Structure 1
Amino acid sequence: KFATQQEKLKGMYIPYWTYDSKTYTKYTGERGDDYQATESYTTTENGKSVTKTRTVTKTRWHSVSGSVNNIFDDILVLASKSLPKKYTEKLEPWDLDQLVNYDEKFLSGFRTETYQVDMKEGFVEAKLKMEPIIKQTICKNIGGDHQRISTKSTTYNNVTFKHVLLPVWISAYKYNSKVYRFLVNGRTGEVQGERPWSWIKITLTIVIVAAVIGGIIWYFNR
């Protein structure tokens, strides 16, 4: 209720790249299989040193190597440098299966931003997004209870791309003399952006939580 409108809600089409690729990755690493073993240990009971046994979990490692294949479809990469990625990434997912061919009538009432990230630069980022999925596939292929990846080499095949424009509503508001910007996914309504924090409320919350925890500790130790 203390916020005042700083900017009107603006509709913008933000440029993105999407990439498709098939990948082939060769790897070396280690597979760890857990097993149960009995070990002896020494402890003190009634002032005397005694030896006891216990069951522990240990891991047996052995070397592995292999290869995996992945298929990636519509890896989305922001082609704008004017919007913070920490917010645009949280606007995802986009319903990319609903993309249509370019038509100027869709741009009515919207501003359009030009591409600031070229196709090659965008594919470098797309590879980074593929990386965790490739690692997951390797770990699944290695099997066992634990996995270690020592080396890997990926080949990217049948790479295709699309340049797309996605609708984002952008606005800002003023709160306590500071301007906060927020973004809205024009397809799903997902909202992300900056927000003011009340340090008084945060401090009170910490005090209340600490009091509750202290009360629980006192109750169980009385």
Structure 2
Amino acid sequence: MVPRERRAPGADQFPCERCGALQTFKPGTDHIGCPYCGHTTDIEPDRGVLREYDFREALTELAQAPPAAQRQTTRCESCAAEFDFESHIHAGECPFCGTPIVEGTGDTRHVKPESLLPFEVDEDSALANFRKWLGKLWFAPGSLRRYAEGDARLTGVYIPYWTYDSATHSRYSGQRGTVYYVSQSYTTVVNGRRVTRTRRVQRVRWTPVAGQVSRFFDDVLVGASRSLPRKITDSIAPWDLQNLVRYDDRYLSGFRSEAYQVGLDEGFKTAIQIMDNVIRQDVARDIGGDRQRITSLQTQHSETRFKHLLLPVWSAAFRFRGKVYRFVVNGRTGKVQGERPYSKIKIFFAALGAAIVVSILFVFGVKTGFINF
């Protein structure tokens, strides 16, 4: 069984009870608020036990499900405009009046997010962290710094993720290496004379080994978006998954939200790679000795379960010399990571300056006698 949409399809908006304007979620709080009159509506976060679903059963069910729609038509309740959300977006703004809209994912994705981490860091704090991060970059082009200090705008996005639990049992074969030393004679020339000396040389004695290790993995986190490179989203970890709350549309109001683009099965293949790295460390410890070689490793997975959830990031993009560089800020911790351009002019002048300094030191050394030929 997989988690399904539990509400009627259609766009959700959250009007203010006082003035009728639309409310949006305020990072770091448990309420949505009106940007005009300041009225707030509380959200009671549900931090109850979150269900995890059987992975194999879900794959069977998904294989029998009809294809998901590629686009969905949404109607804005404020201006009555109808427009299409792309299939991987289910929260954003009306392109005609800017109204924040949260759309159900029932027609475009078969597995629904049942939990999320709400935004804790607001845009101003995220932008301050972004600028501080840029200030530490060596050889960044001046246009990037001007962009950060001027027109830079961050977009708040909920990114889809999978988590996987799995019990693993691994059988391995390999070799245990024991380091030992032998004495070795060699001939060298000292003061014009050939002399024989002895030195210690390291050797490794390899012994065949075989065995098995077991480990249970809990909440192996895998990104389910293709909009941002995995190396960037992985680098803003860790996430405080112990603070997950049950999914509520109100947390998405005022933000973009993506539906998963990496499927459940594909995500598990990535999780297997993550788990395999840990298992290999377990095997190396089990082999023991001074060195280890793993010649074969076979792992069986059982009791595999999953969750589908959303995590918050602030995202920005900068175009430099025809290439787009992306930056993200962890919406919980404020940690910044991203791609970065380099200024070739700054690198050239830095190298030129270093060469000049070395030349001056060399000339000074020759004149003072510190350097002799």
Which TM bucket (shorter chain)? 0.7 to 0.9
- Alignment-derived partner of residue 159 in structure 1: 304
Paired with 2:322 and 2:192, the residues of 1 have a C-alpha distance of 69
User: Which amino acid in the other structure matches residue 312 of structure 2?
Assistant: P
Residue 155 of structure 2 corresponds to residue 2 of structure 1: no
Paired with 1:185 and 1:179, the residues of 2 have a C-alpha distance of 20
Paired with 1:136 and 1:213, the residues of 2 have a C-alpha distance of 45
Residue 300 of structure 2 corresponds to residue 132 of structure 1: no
Paired with 2:330 and 2:314, the residues of 1 have a C-alpha distance of 7
* Structure 1 residues 178 and 158: alpha-carbon distance in aligned structure 2, compared to 1, 3 A threshold: closer
Paired with 1:175 and 1:45, the residues of 2 have a C-alpha distance of 60
Paired with 1:221 and 1:157, the residues of 2 have a C-alpha distance of 69
Q: 1:80 aligns with which of 225, 229, 235?
A: 225
For 1:93-149, what per-residue CA distance to the aligned partner results, in whole angstroms no more than 9, with x for missing partners?
111111111112211111211111111110000001111111111111111111110
Q: How far off its partner does 1:221 sit?
A: 4.6
The 5 A counterparts of 1:182-201 are 182-201=327-346
* Secondary structure of the structure 2 residue equivalent to 1:201: helix
Identity of aligned residues (%): 50
When you count strand as a share of all residues, which structure comes out higher?
1
For 1:124-180, what per-residue CA distance to the aligned partner results, in whole angstroms no more than 9, with x for missing partners?
000011111111111111111111100010011221111000111122346678754
Of 205-214 and 92-101, more deviation after overlay is shown by 205-214
- Alignment-derived partner of residue 246 in structure 2: 101
- Alignment-derived partner of residue 53 in structure 1: 198
Q: Which has the higher contact order (CA 8 A, sep 6+)?
A: 1
Q: Which runs of 5+ in 2 are unaligned?
A: 1-144
The 5 A counterparts of 1:23-38 are 23-38=168-183
- Alignment-derived partner of residue 90 in structure 1: 235
For 1:190-212, what per-residue CA distance to the aligned partner results, in whole angstroms no more than 9, with x for missing partners?
12223342222222333444566
Q: Could you tell me the TM-score, scaled by structure 2's length?
A: 0.54
Paired with 1:36 and 1:177, the residues of 2 have a C-alpha distance of 57
Aligned length: 220
